[in-house]
Copies of this chain bind each other. A is one copy, B any other.
Amino acid sequence: MVKNKKDSTTEARLLAAAKKVFTTKGLAGARMQDIADEAGINKAMLHYYFRDKDKLFEVIFLEEANKFFPKINKIFESDMPLFEKIEQFVNEYIDEMLENPYLPWFILNELNRDADQFLSKIWDIKNRPNPAKLLQQIEREVKKGTIKKISPIHLLMNLLSMTIFPFIARPMIERNLQMTAAQFDNMIAERRKEIPKFILDSIKK
């Protein structure tokens, strides 16, 4: 595998370092000096390329959000059968989490800290998850009688919860259930099938 030239530029190295530090320490906890050290590059370069801390944060967040959420929305809005949609959602989400385990944490953290600022300034409305179509689809299926009667909101909440929560709670899970990283990854792999199965068993007639 040939290393992409861009990956070793100053800018790219700073971005990678920032991603790592923001992830583990949060926006407030991250130090510009830590990021510079992690990249092995002078701190002034962070300001040279990204102006200030908030801008740097924004760049990192948007890069990932713009890649990921459109994919999720495409699934939500497609014309697939409900169960297939659920399967695809779980798989897509887990794929993303394995590549960027920090993302949900990142988002929820900042959303918790200051939702207004985060949503209006940083998170473009086009890229926010929009499950409206999925909710309608569930309602239709219930009315048609193809699945058991269930509130669409609760089904959606259950789907999101079971998919996302393990990644947010990873440190707690690994500790309290005495799992190694490998065991955790293995468990996540199983969930690609377990979650859709669990849901199907619950709502099928």
Binding site for B on A (CB under 8 A): 24-29, 105, 107-109, 111-113, 115, 119, 128-131, 148, 150-151, 153-154, 157-158, 160-162, 164-166, 168-173, 175-177, 187, 190-191, 194-195, 198-199, 201-203
The interface centre, meaning the residue of A24, A177, A203 with most chain B CB atoms within 10 A of its CB, is A177
A149 to chain B, nearest CB (A): 11
A-B contact pairs, 27 of them (CB 8 A): A25-B28, A25-B113, A26-B26, A26-B113, A29-B29, A108-B171, A108-B172, A111-B175, A112-B171, A128-B175, A128-B176, A131-B176, A131-B177, A148-B201, A150-B198, A151-B190, A153-B187, A154-B191, A157-B165, A158-B162, A158-B198, A160-B169, A161-B165, A161-B166, A164-B165, A168-B168, A199-B202
Distance between Cα atoms of A128 and B175 in the complex (Å): 10
Distance between Cα atoms of A25 and B27 in the complex (Å): 10
A104 to chain B, nearest CB (A): 9
A76 to chain B, nearest CB (A): 11
